[in-house]
Chains A and B, each alone.
Chain A
Amino acid sequence: MSDLTSRLRSEASTISQTAGPDLVTRICAAVPAHRVRTVDCLGLPWPRLLAAAAAVLAVASGSIWLFQAGGSPEQVAAPTAAVMRIPAAPALDDLLAPARTAMPAPGVPGEIAALQADLAMMARTVRGAIPF
């Protein structure tokens, strides 16, 4: 039985490939149309968040400049009040809505099983990284 390895190898070499003749063509045709997905961290609207952060920073630095230049509290407050009226800072619920809809709906067995399988794989990967 010492040649089990060679028998497994030789028998495997006689097993022919089974893909249909058009599989390669099909894949190559699909590749250009397949859009490369960009990373969408948490599904949040990052451009809007960045714009809001930039607006807040601009107003804050402008207010400091005004204050240092001897502006009255009313003068300093004016631009702050103006920026607060800009609807650039959406509600937290609005921000999290895309992420929430991307989560699997509770009670859908397939989704939960897929999630469990992913978690199990993740756990195995983490366990695999531990050298003992």
Chain B
Amino acid sequence: MTAVDDRSLAAAAGSGDAVAFAALVEAHAGRLHRWLVATGTGHHDAEDVVQEAFLRAHAAIDRYDPRWAFTTWLFTIAHRVRRDLAARRRPHTSLDSCQIAAPPAEEDVVPAGGLWARARSILNSDEYRALWLRYAEDMEPAEVARVIGINPIAARVRLHRARRRLEHALRADPAFTTAEALS
């Protein structure tokens, strides 16, 4: 589904079209869930976050700014919902720079031994989430910045650092310097 489709569906949903909103849910719930799980949220919590994000989006659909992609707005809401959930669960833990722990193998969506699993083990949570939004969700740096609540320049810097750290780690790792890994 294109961003233009999303915007027209969001406009329709804003005027009370439940079918249009259901189409948005159908199109994006899976992607949103994948992002949450891949970046450290358990399956069940991720489902709750997705549901809450859509409910908040529905309640505030008339405040959606069509200058931004619907997915950017939706991911921004989900990021806040997840942050609030994490804050309630772990009130004394800093959430900004900790590393994302790999979930149990049966819940992990990121293939073990792959590039994303490697990135998760190297980068901190902020870098990993930014990297995922940029390359797995194909968001522009400005959109990444909006989702995670930083300014666009900071987002570019964070992405640059993440890439550089990942590249250095891969160069130093013989397993990743094989022809297959670098092809």
Contacts and interface: CB of A to CB of B under 8 A. Distances in A.
A23 B47 contact: yes
Interface string A85-114: 000000000000000000000000110111
A110 to B, nearest CB: 5
Contact of A15 (B26, B80, B116, B183): B116
A5 B163 CA distance: 9
A12 interface: yes
Contacts, number: 129
Q: Binding site of A, secondary structure by majority: helix, strand, loop or mixed?
A: helix
Interface string B127-153: 000011001101000000100011100
A128 B145 CA distance: 9
A114 B92 CA distance: 10
B124 to A, nearest CB: 16
B30 A9 contact: no
A1 B167 CA distance: 7
Interface residues of B, number: 53
A45 B68 CA distance: 36
Contacts of A81: none
A20 interface: yes
Interface of A: 1, 3-5, 7-9, 11-12, 14-20, 23-24, 26-28, 30-32, 34, 36-37, 109-110, 112-114, 116-117, 121, 124-125, 127-129
